Amino acid sequence: MAPSQRVEQMNKELRKGHFLAEKDRFCAYCVVRGTSFCGMVPNEDMAQLSSQSRPLTLDRRRTLFHQGDETQSIYVVTSGTLRLYQMLADGRRQVVGFAIPGDLLGFPLADHNDYSADALDSVYLCQFPRQEFMQFLNQRAHLLGALLTVTHDELNRTREQLALISQKNAERKMAQFLLSFRGRQMRMDEEISVLPVRIPQADIADFLGLTIETVNRMLARFTREKIIAITDTGVELLNLIRLHMLAEA
């Protein structure tokens, strides 16, 4: 079964409450097992991890948590996409990333959230109360190592974004963005050529440090040149070779 189907099925069951009754099996059967922090948790710890988690649904445009608020929970995204952003002193908004299934949200050792997170579509998450999560971590040193790895990955991703945003060429920025976003999605589904989210152009703009007009013009140009196609389910990458050329040239 393809991951996306599995997600759908799991979400159905989630809504029916199946998993709530069988908590131990919850994590073991999770779709994002193997792509996230949870994937680094050995099987013998699964039951305990499951018992702490609570499924959570978040509607489009709802906020999961705000920058600066006290860190009360840690989350793992199981389905959907969120935008992560910081408000800057001058009123600008910097989108620091997009969270997709498998991503860990919230850093248990920090007292306050580093960024805000809100849903771009319907989002399903596993929620872990911070205190219990931390206890769980501290009991098992190898899990601290797993968290360290995840944090380091995020550091590297942020450095990648830095390289992206420091580009002066809007076309290249856009091409690199599409490719790197695809790269992240491929973690779940290797064959992907449609990016399954409609990210508002304003969010892409705030991610890339461009204006909405420039983002729009670039997407229009790519569409005109048949490099991408924008559908109501997301963006389809039609010509990966050209996209790579634009990204690197």
Q: Quote the CA–CA distance of 52 and 33 in Å, as a whole number.
A: 16
Among candidate residues 197, 207, 214, 184, the one with its CA nearest the CA of residue 95: 207
Q: Quote the CA–CA distance of 132 and 125 in Å, as a whole number.
A: 17
Select from 135, 169, 193, 231 the one that contacts DNA (CB under 7 A): 169
Q: Is residue 112 close enough to count as binding a second copy by CB under 8 A?
A: no
Q: Which long-range contacts does 209-216 make (Cβ < 8 Å, 24+ apart)? A: 209/165, 209/173, 210/170, 210/173, 214/170, 215/174
Select from 44, 141, 168, 241 the one that contacts DNA (CB under 7 A): 168
Select from 73, 214, 243, 246 the one that contacts DNA (CB under 7 A): 214
CA distances from 179 to 9, 114, 160, 164, 244 (A): 28, 26, 12, 11, 8
Select from 23, 33, 184, 217 the one that contacts DNA (CB under 7 A): 217
Query: Based on CB atoms, which residue is closest to DNA, 20 or 163?
Result: 163
Q: Is residue 121 close enough to count as binding DNA by CB under 7 A?
A: no
Query: Based on CB atoms, which residue is closest to a second copy, 1 or 88?
Result: 88
Which one of a second copy, DNA, none interacts with residue 226, CB within 5 to 8 A by kind? none
Q: Quote the CA–CA distance of 46 and 2 in Å, as a whole number.
A: 23
Contacting residues toward a second copy, per CB under 8 A: 86, 88-90, 92, 94, 96, 107, 109-110, 114-115, 138, 141, 144-145, 147-149, 151-152, 154-156, 158-159, 161-163, 165-166, 168, 172, 209, 247-249
